[in-house]
Amino acid sequence: MADDPLPILPEVRLVKPGETHRLCRCGHSPEMPNCTPDCQQSLGLRPEREQRLLLCRCSRSANLPYCDGSHSPPAPGLADKWRRFFSGR
């Protein structure tokens, strides 16, 4: 377990009114969750209120640019789910 690679965790981003964010929806950006300027699939986000977003950085989410928990392998049993909760994996 010590040799397990650390998962790529999502980014919690505080967005505020007046800001503009270009977020990746295709999953090919080298700077996840930010998108490159030449991408046609990017999501332009201009928040109307201050909020926190949970943004995908691993490109596995089915709901890009938002994290859906796909970075974590399935936890089949209750003990595995509790272990993940307390260890952060």
Per-residue pLDDT tens over the stretch 25-66: 999 999 999 999 999 999 999 999 999 999 999 998 999 999
Q: Could you give the CA distance from residue 4 to residue 39 in angstroms, rounded to a whole number?
A: 33
Query: What's this model's pTM, rounded to 2 decimal places?
Result: 0.73
Q: Flag whether pLDDT at 1 surpasses 50.
A: no
- What is the spatial distance between Cα 7 and Cα 2, in angstroms, rounded to a whole number? 13
Q: To the nearest whole percent, how much of the chain has pLDDT over 70?
A: 83
Q: What angle do CA 87, 88, 89 make, to 5 degrees?
A: 95
Q: What per-residue confidence (pLDDT) applies to 81? A: 67
> Quick one: tokens of 28?
């090919």
